[in-house]
């Protein structure tokens, strides 16, 4: 490896396919984590899946890495309005579609004889979820209109704060280890404060101040990007790094290591995948079907809880099952197939077209220069 920046071949390529492809596996991990709460396997058989919920933290780190790659690589000042418009267009169409679908389901449920817990789906939580601030404040209950959207709320906060991240990332671009140290120190301080106040570690924060979770992890991703762009790496070394970091991450998850250690190990894992792209190594993460899955990962992540809720309520009503019934593996396979299909359709029919419409509405093309 060479730690010299700014020389030919040292920058990351524009496309980082492995980081796109891995998104579908991170989203699937979160999906299966929620599924395993309802299936017939004993808890000890879940192993890896009990920590798959930390895929959200990996997404937060990955987001910081990608934002640095897209917006900081040439050192130009950030066009903040254009940046926010692009990010809003990226995340909001799928979010709005699924939230409105949840509203329809909640309104229709009583007509179908499905009883809802009083106050569970309330107007205040709907508005907070709609404008993506539900994870910004202390709260005693979950915002249940679409549970996974809490992390989208945290992402939106990071986008709003991106000028701060950009300033730090550019100012310390020549000192990536200092950036990583700052992210680590920030995580330690916020984690200590969160544990003192709520009695749980930071990677377990969700609706209740879950925004705190992304603050150091996003910066961690920015620091990893600035470190990785300074390294040249041979293809064989890149493959070895990707394999070894994957084994370490999955091994820590399987043995139930401390959440914070798993989050820390996600950094080398993501950096090694980015270095695969820099070294020109193609892997299964670059396969077209995997890349499509990565692009649809947001829709998959957002839609899986509503689908799970509807599926289980329908099964209980049709088959007269108790509310806590356990799902068999064939049922889980059918549920996963339905969820994947809906996620792909939402991505192709809602997310992509909605993104293009919003970009046309919100991002004005540059005016043509006037000839003399």
In a domain, 5, yes or no: no
Q: Which two tokens stand for residue 180?
A: 């990583």
- With a cut of 60, say whether residue 1 has pLDDT above it: no
What residues contact residue 139 under an 8 Å CB cut-off, 6+ apart? 207, 208
In a domain, 4, yes or no: no
**Spatial contact of 361 and 334, defined as CB atoms under 8 Å apart:** no
Higher-confidence residue of 36 and 290: namely 290
- With a cut of 70, say whether residue 216 has pLDDT above it: yes
- Residue 271 confidence class, pLDDT cut points 50, 70, 90: very high
In a domain, 52, yes or no: yes
CB atoms within 10 A of CB 250: 16
- With a cut of 70, say whether residue 8 has pLDDT above it: no
* Tens digit of each residue's pLDDT (9 = 90 or more) over 226-257: 999 999 999 999 999 999 999 999 999 999 99
What residues contact residue 17 under an 8 Å CB cut-off, 6+ apart? 277, 282, 285, 286, 291
In which domain, by residue range, is 280 found?
Answer: 17-362
What residues contact residue 322 under an 8 Å CB cut-off, 6+ apart? 316
Largest Cα–Cα distance of the chain, in whole Å?
79
In a domain, 24, yes or no: yes
- With a cut of 50, say whether residue 42 has pLDDT above it: yes
Higher-confidence residue of 214 and 10: namely 214
Q: By three-state DSSP, how is residue 163 classified?
A: helix
Q: Which two tokens stand for residue 159?
A: 């986008």
Q: If you compute the radius of gyration of the chain from its CA atoms, what whole number of angstroms results? A: 21
* Tens digit of each residue's pLDDT (9 = 90 or more) over 106-128: 999 888 777 777 778 999 999 99
Q: Which two tokens stand for residue 196?
A: 């003192």
Looking at residue 116, what is its pLDDT?
Answer: 73
In a domain, 73, yes or no: yes
Looking at residue 350, what is its pLDDT?
Answer: 98
* Tens digit of each residue's pLDDT (9 = 90 or more) over 289-344: 999 999 999 999 999 999 999 999 889 888 999 988 999 989 999 999 999 999 99
Identify the sign of the CA torsion 291, 295, 299, 301: positive
Q: What is the mean pLDDT of residues 201-209?
A: 97
- With a cut of 50, say whether residue 218 has pLDDT above it: yes
In a domain, 232, yes or no: yes
Looking at residue 43, what is its pLDDT?
Answer: 63
Looking at residue 5, what is its pLDDT?
Answer: 42
In a domain, 69, yes or no: yes
Q: What is the mean pLDDT of residues 69-76?
A: 89
Structural domains in the chain (count): 1
CA angle 286, 15, 337 (to 5 degrees): 40
In a domain, 196, yes or no: yes
- Residue 3 confidence class, pLDDT cut points 50, 70, 90: very low
State how far the Cα of 205 lies from the Cα of 221, in Å rounded to an integer. Answer: 19
């Amino acid at each position: 490896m060479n730690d010299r920046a700014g020389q030919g071949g040292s920058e990351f390529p524009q496309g980082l396919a492995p980081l796109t492809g891995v998104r579908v596996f991170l989203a699937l991990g979160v999906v299966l984590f929620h599924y395993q709460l309802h299936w017939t396997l004993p808890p000890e058989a879940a192993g890896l899946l009990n920590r798959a919920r930390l895929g959200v933290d990996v997404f937060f780190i990955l987001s910081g890495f990608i934002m640095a790659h897209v917006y900081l690589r040439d050192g130009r000042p950030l066009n903040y309005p254009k940046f926010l418009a692009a990010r809003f267009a990226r995340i909001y169409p799928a979010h709005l579609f699924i939230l409105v679908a949840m509203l329809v389901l909640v309104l229709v449920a009583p007509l179908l004889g499905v009883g809802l817990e009083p106050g569970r789906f309330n107007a205040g939580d709907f508005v907070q979820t709609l404008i993506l601030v539900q994870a910004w404040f202390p709260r005693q209950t979950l915002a249940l209109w679409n549970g996974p959207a809490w992390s989208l709320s945290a992402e939106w906060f990071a986008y709003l704060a991106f000028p701060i991240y950009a300033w730090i990332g550019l100012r310390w671009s020549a000192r990536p280890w200092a950036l990583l140290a700052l992210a680590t120190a920030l995580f330690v301080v916020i984690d200590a404060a969160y544990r003192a106040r709520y009695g749980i570690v930071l990677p377990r924060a969700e609706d209740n101040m879950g925004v705190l979770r992304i603050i150091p992890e996003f910066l961690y991703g920015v620091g990893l990007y600035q470190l990785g762009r300074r390294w040249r790496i041979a293809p064989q070394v890149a493959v070895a790094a990707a394999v070894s970091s994957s084994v370490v991450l999955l091994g820590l998850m399987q043995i139930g290591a401390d959440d914070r250690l798993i989050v820390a190990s996600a950094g080398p894992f993501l950096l090694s995948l980015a270095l695969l792209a820099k070294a020109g190594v193609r892997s299964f993460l670059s396969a077209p079907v995997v890349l499509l899955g990565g692009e649809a990962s947001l829709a998959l992540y957002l839609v899986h809880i509503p689908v799970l809720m509807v599926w289980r309520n329908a099964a209980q009503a049709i088959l007269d099952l108790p509310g806590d019934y356990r799902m068999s593996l064939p049922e889980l396979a059918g549920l996963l197939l339905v969820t994947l299909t809906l996620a792909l359709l939402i991505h192709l029919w809602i997310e992509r077209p909605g993104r293009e419409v919003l970009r046309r509405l919100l991002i004005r093309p540059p005016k043509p220069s006037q000839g003399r």
